[in-house]
Structure 1
Amino acid sequence: MSLPLLAILFMVNLLSPESQSKSKNDFTIVFYNVENLFDVKNDPETRDDDFTPAGQNHWTYHRLDAKIQHIYKALIAAGKGEFPDVIGLAEIENRWVVRRLIDSTPLSRVPYGIIHKDSPDPRGIDVALLYRKDRVKPVDFDFLRVVKEGKRQFESRDILYFSGNLDGDTVHFFVNHWPSRYGGYMATKKKRNFAARILRQRIDSILADEPAAHILMMGDFNATMNEGCLRDVLHAAQYSNVKGYDSLINLTGIWKDGAIGTLWNKGEWAVFDQFICTPSLLNGAQLKLNISRTYICREAFLLEADEKYLGIKPNRTYLGPAYHGGFSDHLPIVTVLGSE
Structure 2
Amino acid sequence: MKFSLILIICLFLCARISLAQSVIDGLEEGIRGDFRLMFYNVENFFDCFDDSLTLDNEFLPRGERNWTWEKYQKKSQKVAKVILAAGGWEFPDLIGLCEVENRFVLDGLFKIGYLNKAGYQIIHRESPDRRGIDVALIYQPETFHPIDTTFIKLIYEGDSISTTREILYVKGKTNTDDTLHIFVNHWPSRWGGQLESENRRISASHLLKGKVSEIVNHNGNALIVIMGDFNDYPDNRSLQTELNALSPEKEICDNKLYNLAYLFLNKTGIGSHKYQGKWGMLDQFIVSGALLNKSGFLYCDPDNMSLFKPEFLLETDNTYFGEKPFRSFVGYKFNDGFSDHLPIILDLWRK
For 1:247-266, list aligned pairs within 5 A: 247-259=256-268, 260-266=270-276
The letter for the 2-side match of 1:32 is Y
Counterpart residue number, 1:200: 209
For 1:290-301, list aligned pairs within 5 A: 290-301=301-312
Hey, what's the Cα distance between the residues in 2 that align with 1:176 and 1:21? 24
Hey, what's the Cα distance between the residues in 1 that align with 2:251 and 2:240? 11
For 1:228-243, list aligned pairs within 5 A: 228-242=237-251
The letter for the 2-side match of 1:261 is G
Counterpart residue number, 1:39: 47
Of 308, 312, 316, 2:319 maps to 308
Q: Within the alignment, does 1:214 sit opposite 2:228 as a pair?
A: no
Gaps of 5+ in 1: none
Is 1:242–1:249's contact at 8 Å kept on the other side of the alignment? Answer: no
Counterpart residue number, 2:9: none
Displacement after TM superposition at 1:149 (Å):
5.0
Displacement after TM superposition at 1:14 (Å):
4.2
Hey, what's the Cα distance between the residues in 2 that align with 1:20 and 1:243? 25
Counterpart residue number, 2:335: 324
Counterpart residue number, 2:288: 278
Displacement after TM superposition at 1:245 (Å):
3.9
Give the structure with higher Rg (CA).
Answer: 2
- Range with bigger deviation, 223-232 or 41-50: 41-50
Q: Within the alignment, does 1:179 sit opposite 2:188 as a pair?
A: yes
Is 2:128–2:162's contact at 8 Å kept on the other side of the alignment? Answer: no
CA shift in 2, pair 1:71/1:200, >3 Å: same
Hey, what's the Cα distance between the residues in 1 that align with 2:166 and 2:218? 23
CA shift in 2, pair 1:306/1:148, >3 Å: same
Count of residues paired in the alignment = 334
Displacement after TM superposition at 1:105 (Å):
3.1
> Percent identity at matched positions?
38
Hey, what's the Cα distance between the residues in 2 that align with 1:13 and 1:90? 22
Q: 1:143-168 deviations in whole A, cap 9, x for unaligned? A: 11012252698621100001111111
Gaps of 5+ in 2: 1-13
Displacement after TM superposition at 1:306 (Å):
0.4
Hey, what's the Cα distance between the residues in 2 that align with 1:29 and 1:218? 9
For 1:134-149, list aligned pairs within 5 A: 134-148=142-156
Is 2:252–2:289's contact at 8 Å kept on the other side of the alignment? Answer: no
Displacement after TM superposition at 1:8 (Å):
3.1
Hey, what's the Cα distance between the residues in 1 that align with 2:24 and 2:183? 32
CA RMSD, aligned part only?
Answer: 1.7
Q: Within the alignment, does 1:9 sit opposite 2:24 as a pair?
A: no
Counterpart residue number, 2:7: none
Counterpart residue number, 2:232: 223
Is 2:135–2:168's contact at 8 Å kept on the other side of the alignment? Answer: yes
TM-score, normalised relative to structure 2:
0.91
Hey, what's the Cα distance between the residues in 2 that align with 1:186 and 1:85? 36
Is 2:314–2:323's contact at 8 Å kept on the other side of the alignment? Answer: yes
CA shift in 2, pair 1:42/1:106, >3 Å: closer
Hey, what's the Cα distance between the residues in 2 that align with 1:255 and 1:149? 33
TM-score, normalised relative to structure 1:
0.94
Q: Within the alignment, does 1:83 sit opposite 2:108 as a pair?
A: no
Is 2:59–2:66's contact at 8 Å kept on the other side of the alignment? Answer: yes
